[in-house]
Structure 1
Amino acid sequence: MNNFFSSLRLTVSSLVICSVIYPAVILGFAMVAAPESRQGSLIRNETGEVIGSRLIAQSFTRPGYFWPRPSAVDYDASATGGSNLSPTNPALTQRAAGGIAKLNLKSGQKVPADLVAASGSGLDPHISLASAKLQADRVAASRGLPLSVVESLIQDNLNGRALVVLGGEPIVNVLTLNIALDQAIADKE
């Protein structure tokens, strides 16, 4: 009977330490070390309403907005994941061809891979600088803005480099860029 009570005490103390104390300490540390990230890096409008997250892509399809990477999960944060289609799968080729056709490229223009290939999670909120520049003409024409204004907004919203150690290229958060674009239009009016 002594062994039973010893085992029960050990089980209860392990449960309390691992399920209550440790998570509380980690949460407390996160609240101090990264206050914005602990809430999901939410972006709010002027009235305080949540309009998105810096960490999760949203679908933008209108020509006046920058488009994010394609998503294999239709930008559903509750169902993250890649498409698991092999490079030889015809469905992957068709999806890429549809994305390229939608871009209305000029002759000889190269398409950055991130505009036609979904990320591993399907929710990558960033596009490459090359992808943003490729879309700048369309966005400027659709919004009636000078190209120089749109290019300036792209530069203002650069997030540094992805995978710096591996020589990554500068990236742009699509949601924050589109919010800045809307703000530029509102300031113009």
Structure 2
Amino acid sequence: MGYKSVVMTLSVCFAFFGLGFSLNSGTVLAAQPNQTFEDEAVPLDLTVILERAYLDGEVSEEKVRETVWSLEDFWLRYDQWQCISIDGDTVVFKQYVDDISPLLKANGYFGLSEDGVLTIFNGRPDRSQIIQSFFQLDVGRLESRKHQELLKGIPIKTKDQYEQVIEAFKPYTRVEKQKN
């Protein structure tokens, strides 16, 4: 993203939320992208919340403290993020990650819930909590090998594997018959 885009993003974000930042001295900082605090010798202390939303629906949150001397530098640092809100000395950014979450990579398993729904578990399916559920499977149509894999648990290590497993089991989706 170029300089003009960053300046435009900053302007739009501030215009959208209609506010500036309050400084410790009680003065209000207007939304000026090239503003620096070197003249005042008072940096802006912000809490920055970084939300990452993953393909599997998991959202992680990281909270960092920032000392800002230049709004331009601040916005450039987060140019790959979407500004969600600005409230006092807290700025919330969100980023959509085209990948599965670290939780799934570390401990996610596809399996079957008790009622036959394709499900992701935090750990092996027989003794773990449900992370995400997908669709009801017609277990009677499953090959015995695939059924056993799901009962044992299929580990999830990559985005491609996550998508392949979902696609592989879609043909076994249970279709309820319509009553006349």
Q: Which bracket does the TM-score occupy, shorter chain normalised?
A: under 0.3
Flag the structure with higher strand content: 2
Flag the structure with higher helix content: 1
For the pair shown, the structure with the greater C-alpha radius of gyration is 2
Which of 1 and 2 has higher RCO (CA within 8 Å, sep 6+)? 1
